[in-house]
Structure 1
């Protein structure tokens, strides 16, 4: 009788369902290359950060700085010498050993005079990098910098090997849990689990990043099940449809993305004109019209969720009459500006609204819709623009305003000195006050028109666990992602 009952139960329950081990992730933008140490596009890190490449440290999903290739580190009493203990037994995807010599090569390359690293300033305070032994690295700084662990967690600071560094753009070789097995340009990047990974084996064995630029196509692909998750979903107006469908989960969080109407300060040198532009902008109308209500207004280049944030939105509050008066005072009553827009929906949709708002105060715009590679070449590198809209998704990156060669070309010696002081300040209370001063300074100078903090609006199959809710850096970290049965 017992044997018969067991057989019946086996028939009813059937065989155990196999755990799904592959995933297809949707992205709106395709990366121009796959080397985070040689490109500025956020889409690069969205594919490779923590998946393919790793640094000495890394950002966790809560924004904390965590050990990665360095299992621990010590800092000298004067704050100028950092000693990192590397994990033993780490290999690159080509089978070669990752050791202290690779760290020296990587950091020396990043800070060299001919470096193409988009965030070279992260390494500017490093005096020397030494391999003490194969698993120990000593970094000596020119001045104390309590932020070094944070700086080394950026995607721009991942460790690469001299044998493969020059070809990482198209054939990346990292130390992460996944290797790049295929890149069909214009369509997808495919990853596979690296069998000799030093850390915990991920639940996923394969992952595909699928590039879908059109928001309507993204919606259709999710609904059809062609995409399993779209962590930065480009059509927020359709989120209610997913919320009403039990097949999906909608994941709304925050990002490090300060979305700005960037101003070429070398072209628009009169602060009254920049102030007029800022007062012409109705942030909430842009958030409602371009982002369907998702986003938090900002008045400086700082994230509202940061404990050092200062609300400066009142300084550049929507005031079209004040904007017109400032233009009159500046003698700029017949102004036509070039507005260059990259592909993301926040830029294209937001750009149309911004153009309408500027027209109301007497500023005409000539809109150019650029593809991402064009925007990087013409605006970011060429600085050939008047206005542009972009989200700066790098974490805590107010230091870019201390770089006169950066694409909005703000050159202020007082601000540069302030950022140097911040870098040398270890006391958290003093550092907080200085960061607040920095926010006020760029707001007072109306360097850019600050729009909103980009929300992270994602959609995923409801059976998927482990996707990041917030985005402390620009990443789709798959190391903790799995399917439930």
Structure 2
């Protein structure tokens, strides 16, 4: 065999090995790295994006078609008075450390959410729960103070996944769940690696290995993709034409409810004045701001904290048209001095870096002097979300159906309105779909009239995946990257 044939044979074998490896593994780029991997303990969406449906599972799940489905529960029933849910739990489920799942574990998980000292970011979704009762090893009763139409949906949130009392203390760094994948390791600033859990109760995934690689900058992202080091990019919102024309990758839209806001601290002067908040709403050129994603994306504008895809959506986009002169008039009426310095805090995202500059220009055009404060993600969570130490911030709210946050006394907007709370109480007690939608419309109008925040647009999220990689759950409105159906297909 001559030297050329040897080289060709070696290349052929190398290619074949690469193809075999590719069939049971995947590397996916993700923008944000969470402060921890336990979605029951952090509001950082990235924790749930990697672990939901992969490492952790809840009693209920929103599947790849956007449908609410049983998961660790097989079914549930609601009592005639609307005050008790009865869940039948799945048998034969084990955690990654071989611990068993049963009704006692489910009760522990739910009691941990509703405890007075709970740190669960979605605890307010469960504030109507009075108690959790074990009827037998695989039957769980959830008793309510008052009817809650959203409880099954609440149980499908990443923050409501089931955890075991023996391993929960270490879930922040070493999560142990019941999902089809288990954690191999987490290398900070680099990646999270998973492998298939061989004792999984359900259908085994096609993939043996998966890795989420953290993409910290746009330049770094493009370099990694150009070098073929990842098989796809998740939640893409900014990609140059250089990659849009690549024949080996394809764009596919995600059905998420990611709402871009200029969030306002309603308790901090001068923003405790409705006229000032309305001035901000008129000051932002949303059409211009939406171009930050480039010509390939056309974000859908919103006028309230609600997704246009929902049947109860009310179009309030034109309530505060772009009108800088009207903004100036409102500020003068409120007695706001010219050149007042305001702090605009931005997270470490592309929309924060680019959008923050555009927002600052709009605010300075109506007389403010803007101080841009850039924070890493952990600092943003601590300073803005937890301590509420901010004036304005540009942020993406990715949780679905989260209009309920405006009824919370301790939420970082510092919005406290009894009229909205009364509406939301009626929402939770709705007994028909028509009544629910009508009340959700009233709730949208209330937060818009109060100009609680400047509601901007829906993030035009898409996945940029290798054309031979199929099965990502793109129809789920839960911010997650569920891998169980992901698989490789033969190329053309």
Q: TM-score range by the shorter chain?
A: over 0.9
CA distance in 1, matches of 2:69, 2:206: 21
Q: Is the 8 A contact 1:456 1:469 kept in 2?
A: no
1:242–1:459: 8 Å Cα contact kept in structure 2?
no
| Structure 1 residue 234: Cα displacement | 4.8
Q: Which residues of structure 2 form unaligned runs of 5+?
A: 1-14
Tell me the SS of whatever aligns to 1:105. Answer: helix
8 Å contact 1:342–1:372 — kept in the other structure? yes
User: Relative to structure 1, is the Cα distance of residues 139 and 291 closer, same or farther in structure 2, using a 3 angstrom cutoff?
Assistant: farther
Q: Cα offset for 1:426? A: 2.2
SS state at 2:344 partner: strand
Residue 386 of structure 1 is matched in structure 2 by 391
- Residue 415 (structure 2) aligns with: 410
Give the Cα–Cα distance (whole angstroms) in 2 for the partners of residues 260 and 455 of structure 1. Answer: 14
- Count of equivalent residues: 470
Distance 2:449 2:235 in 1: 32
Mapped to 2, the partners of 1:455 and 1:90 lie a distance apart of 37
Q: Is contact 1:290-1:350 (8 Å) kept?
A: no
Is 1:359–2:364 an aligned residue pair? yes
Counterparts of 1:447-462 in structure 2, within 5 Å, are 447-462=452-467
Does 2:412 align with 1:422?
A: no
| Alignment deviations for residues 191-225 of structure 1 (CA, whole Å, 9 cap, x no partner) | 00001000110011110010011011111211211
Q: What is residue 100 of structure 1 aligned with on the other side?
A: 103
Of 55-64 and 444-453, the range deviating more from structure 2 = 55-64
C-alpha contact (below 8 Å) 1:75/1:83 kept by paired residues = yes
**Mapping 1:12-411, distance limit 5 Å:** 18=20, 20-236=23-239, 238=240, 240-267=241-268, 268-290=271-293, 292=295, 293-334=297-338, 335-411=340-416
Following the alignment from structure 1 to structure 2, what is the Cα–Cα distance between the partners of residues 428 and 211? Answer: 41
- Shift in Å, 1:291: 5.0
How big is the alpha-carbon RMSD for the aligned residues of Structure 1 and Structure 2? 1.5
Deviations, residues 57-88 of structure 1 (Å, cap 9, x unaligned): 01112322111100111111122111111110
Q: Matches of 2:486 and 2:84 in 1, distance apart?
A: 36
SS of 1:127's equivalent?
strand
2:481 maps to: 476
* Distance in 2 (alpha carbons) for counterparts of 1:27 and 1:196: 28
* Cα distance, 1:472 vs structure 2: 0.3
Aligned residue for 2:267, secondary structure, equals coil
Scaled by the length of structure 2, the TM-score of the pair is 0.93
Q: After the TM superposition, which segments of 4 or more aligned residues of structure 1 sit over 6 Å from their partners?
A: 14-17
Residue 256 of structure 1 aligns to a residue whose secondary structure is: coil
Give the gaps of 5 or more residues in structure 1.
1-13
Q: 1:144-170 CA distances to partner (integer Å, 9 max, x unpaired)?
A: 122211010000100101111111001
Change (3 A) 1:279 1:41: same
Residues 90-111 of structure 1 show CA distances to partners (whole Å, capped at 9, x for unaligned) of 0011101000001100111100
1:213-245 Cα distance to aligned partner (Å, 9 max, x none): 101111121121101111212523x1x333322
Mean alpha-carbon deviation: is it higher for 58-67 or for 84-93?
A: 58-67
The alpha carbon displacement at 1:457 in A equals: 2.1
Q: 1:84 touches 1:138 (CA, 8 Å); kept in 2?
A: yes
Q: SS at the partner of 2:105?
A: helix
**What's 1:10 paired with?**
none
